[in-house]
A and B are shown apart, each in its own frame.
Chain A
Amino acid sequence: SQTIHQWPATLVQPVGSPLSLECTVEGTSNPNLYWYRQAAGRGLQLLFYSVGIGQISSEVPQNLSASRPQDRQFILSSKKLLLSDSGFYLCAWGTGNAGNTIYFGEGSWLTVV
């Protein structure tokens, strides 16, 4: 069966410090991968998605970047964090085919202080 993991689960970082959140998927090949941020009030915002190695699409301009160095690995990064980067970050995967499901990871809480 397929599984998705992301880490770290919680992170407290000072303003201006770098960020790296990692996500891996097991049990499938060539998945579509997604990074979301969920703000207070439950809104879900798509940040990046990838349909293959090295292919990254950004949905919103921001202080973050994403990379996909391997088929089942997706990384969210920042060179210098801002206070506004605080939030709950979710990695997700799907096959990209109609009628198939998007599965989410456990989420990573980022607090920028």
Chain B
Amino acid sequence: DAKTTQPPSMDCAEGRAANLPCNHSTISGNEYVYWYRQIHSQGPQYIIHGLKNNETNEMASLIITEDRKSSTLILPHATLRDTAVYYCIVLPAGGTSYGKLTFGQGTILTVHP
């Protein structure tokens, strides 16, 4: 499975966009990029995922570079409730190995008033 690299921490002002980078230079052609976040003492929350096209949903946008070696999660208008640990992971496509998630250290995003 491809490994990911994220900055350990980031700060963001409330109301501003939060841009969280992730490097996954060894990603394979059929592997998806997923983003989850986890607020202390809660289960991880799915945010968004993509294969090679940029994706947007009600929570965030995901920008994947053309070579797919890196991606950026964008929270367009960060709020205090977005303070959490954000995990970027790469999942193999299909099969029983598909759900075998491995979280790295992630990025601690702190949103300030």
Q: A90-B44, A102-B46 are contacts. A42–B105 as well, Cβ < 8 Å?
A: yes
Which of under 10, 10 to 19, 20 to 34, or 35 or more describes the interface residues of B?
Answer: 20 to 34
Q: Select A96's contact among B32, B38, B49, B96, beta carbons within 8 Å.
A: B96
Closest to A33 in B: B99
What is the bound-complex CA distance between A88 and B40, given in angstroms?
11
Closest to B93 in A: A98
- The number of inter-chain residue pairs (CB within 8 angstroms) is 71
Give residues in A with beta carbon < 8 Å to B.
32, 34, 36, 38, 41-44, 46, 49, 51, 57, 59, 88, 90, 92, 94, 96-107, 109
Give residues in B with beta carbon < 8 Å to A.
30, 32, 34, 38, 41-46, 49, 51, 85, 93-96, 98-103, 105-106
